[in-house]
Structure 1
Amino acid sequence: MSVHSSASVKRVTTHTLQEMKLRGEKISMLTAYDFSMAKIVDEAGMDIILVGDSASNVMAGHETTLPITLDQMIYHASAVVRAVKRSFVVVDIPFGSYQGNSTEALRSAIRIMKESGAHAVKVEGGSEIKESVIRILSAGVPVMGHLGLTPQSIYKFGTYTVRAKEESEAAKLLEDAKILEECGCFAIVLEKIPASLAKKVAEAVSIPVIGIGAGPHVDGQVLVMHDMLGITQEFKPRFLRQYADLQKTMLDAFQQYITDVKNRDFPTDRESY
């Protein structure tokens, strides 16, 4: 039975997510970048859909998340929002659209909200982007934080390995999480950090903490759709559970179609007018 079989679908809100943390109910979050896929994810009953800047990788074929533009993020977000009836839609503000300039950060967030109809934005970083976070929140735009491995800073880190294993970096991450909560963020994503530290963060803040490669002791989990469906085969980190092998399913379907066309098996009289 579809989640949407009832006439009135109850939308997930920041308030819903906060209540889920309080009662210990885990939050499910997945990326989506287009109308057709988002419709299925929403119908499945996903709590949060993230229109991630990972679209730069899985949709556009870039090596990093850095090249994707604000216009492109708005394009993807608009398509997702049109499909969604229940899920809470969060959109990544792309690299270069909020760092170092709180006025530009606000402008970017407002454009995303106005032009896509999304419900919130997500930014990477802690104390260094505090001013931008406060500025965005001052306009009434909900903000989700992102700490740990922050892909927009990949050239600074130089590697995609686990973050915050050193005591000093772990202490800064915990402090940053508290800063983001104090600023007014409604949730925080923790990427690729030790499970023990993620547990500490989830217990230290009252807002939901969502993990990706951050162990089981956080308030929810997020994965990139193309990775968990097995559409992208070359990316298989330890934290990824592959729930399907759609690359093989699709390849088989495409090859069968080619064969049927070449052999004049498609279309048949029944498939013709």
Structure 2
Amino acid sequence: MSVHPSAPAASTAATARPTVSLPRLRELAARGEPVAMLTCYDATFAKVLDAAGVDALLVGDSLGNVIQGQPSTLPVSLAHMAYHTECVARAQTAAWLIADLPFGCYEASALQAFDAAATLMRAGARMVKLEGGGALAETVRFLVDRGIPVCAHLGLTPQRVHALGGFRVQGRDEAAADALRADAAAMAAAGATMLVLELVPAALAREITAAHPQMLTIGIGAGAGTAGQVLVLHDLLGLTAGRRPRFVRDFTREPGSSADAPGLPISAAVARYVQDVKAGRFPDERIHAF
């Protein structure tokens, strides 16, 4: 009888590294090591991302766009989010797991938000993310007081895309910047542990990060001055539908390589993303800052 080979190196790496916790994420930020986060929606990719050393996985309602083919995140339901969170949670072993509260399941009341958050926590999430600022401060406080870690999301908030007038940079003028500063302060005071800043000028994102060191800022199109970075997985793999945002980089390609050049394997592309975030090579503010 033949001897079965040992587990692949990638799998061993995923199980060998310690489980990422909130204290671990704070330790990274305290020593100036950026947090590397990616979206993830299924078990297969969860294993790949975990093995590549991604610190945090976000089961984002962006699945409406990249998985369901929807024009926005608005059609995504709580049941959809719970299903995909379960898929990711079954497979990943080390990364911190965050799940989005989808549109329409947390805005009405803190109790509504708690019920939705509890559903995602039962599905395997360790933290929930919601979009919005000061108006949701009491909801955030309600969740935090009941043991549910919260990640806030400011700047371009896709669930409010129609109210914002499209996918555009937020906080450009001083009045808008002041509103973002106030919303960030409200989220920090309410106990949010993490804050995604999307499509925000780099200088403003850096200022908010410095003002609230207790709240880990994660940037997407917000420059390099945040405590970490997040990308939609499909964007990282060069699978962006339509026009690619300028802050996105296809990590399957060498910078400057031709379109017909061989691309990196998915696992290598994800590992490169982690390495480049950690080393401060991504994002490049000369290219991506607003």
Q: Which TM-score band applies after superposition, normalised by the shorter structure?
A: 0.7 to 0.9
From 215, 218, 225, give the equivalent of 1:217: 225
Secondary structure of the 1:189 match is strand
Cα distance change of structure 1 residues 248 and 97 upon mapping to structure 2, 3 Å threshold? farther
Counterpart CA distance in 2 for 1:6 and 1:146 is 28
Residues 1:32 and 1:236: Cα distance change in structure 2 (over 3 Å): same
Query: Cα distance, 1:6 vs. partner?
Result: 8.0
Range 87-96 or range 223-232, more displaced: 223-232
The alpha-carbon distance between structure 1 residues 204 and 225, as it changes in their structure 2 partners (threshold 3 A), is: same
**Residue 95 of structure 1: which of 100, 103, 110 is its match?**
103
Pairing 1:172–2:172 present: no
Mapped to 1, the partners of 2:68 and 2:47 lie a distance apart of 21
In 2, the alpha carbon distance for the partners of 1:218 and 1:12 equals 19
Residue type at the aligned position of 1:29: M
**1:39–1:169 CA distance, 2 compared to 1 (3 A):** same
Letter in 1 for 2:121: M
- Describe the SS at the equivalent of 1:123: strand
Q: Is the 8 A contact 1:211 1:220 kept in 2?
A: yes
Q: 1:255 is matched with which residue? A: none
SS at match of 1:118: coil
**SS of corresponding position for 1:171:** helix
1:149-205 C-alpha deviation (Å, 9 max, x unpaired): 000001101211100101111111112112111111111000001001001011000
Identify if the C-alpha distance between structure 1 residues 34 and 113 changes in structure 2 by more than 3 Å, giving closer, same or farther. Answer: same
Matches within 5 A, 1:66-215: 66-114=74-122, 116-206=123-213, 207-215=215-223
The structure 1 residue matched to 2:30, chosen from 18, 22, 27, is 22
Letter in 2 for 1:82: R
User: Structure 1 residues 176 and 7, CA, compared in 2 at 3 Å: closer, same or farther?
Assistant: closer
Equivalent position amino acid for 1:211 in 2? G
Answer whether contact 1:209 1:218 (CA < 8 A) is retained: yes
Contact 1:9/1:85, CA 8 A, preserved across alignment: no
Q: How many residues align?
A: 248
AA matched with 2:56: I
Identity value in percent: 40
1:31 is aligned to 2:31? no
Higher relative contact order (CA 8 A, sep 6+): 2
Separation (CA, whole Å) in 1 of partners of 2:76 and 2:235: 19
- Amino acid aligned to 2:247: F
What's the CA shift for 1:232?
Answer: 2.8
Partners of 2:28 and 2:240 in 1: how far apart?
31
| CA apart distance, 1:123 | 0.5
Greater Rg by CA:
1
- Kept after mapping to 1: 8 A contact 2:14/2:53: no
Give the 3-state SS of the residue equivalent to 1:2 in structure 2. helix
Q: Which amino acid aligns with 1:156?
A: A
* CA shift in 2, pair 1:248/1:77, >3 Å: farther
CA distance 1:100–1:10, shift in 2 (3 Å): same
Shift of 1:57: 0.4
Unaligned runs of 5+ in 2: 1-8, 254-258, 262-290
Regions of 4+ moved over 4 Å: none
TM-score by length of structure 1 reads 0.87
Structure 1 residues 5 and 215: alpha-carbon distance in aligned structure 2, compared to 1, 3 A threshold: closer
Distance (Å, rounded) in 1 between the aligned partners of 2:29 and 2:124: 25
Is the 8 Å Cα contact of residues 221 and 247 (structure 2) preserved in structure 1?
Answer: yes
Alpha-carbon distance between aligned partners in 2 of 1:126 and 1:74, rounded to the nearest angstrom: 24
Task: Answer whether contact 1:3 1:45 (CA < 8 A) is retained.
Answer: no
Partners of 2:14 and 2:94 within 8 A in 1: no
Could you say what the CA RMSD is over the residues aligned between the two structures, in angstroms?
1.9
Correspondence list, 1:236-247, <5 A: 236-244=244-252
Q: Structure 1 86/6 Cα, relative in aligned 2: closer, same or farther at 3 Å?
A: closer
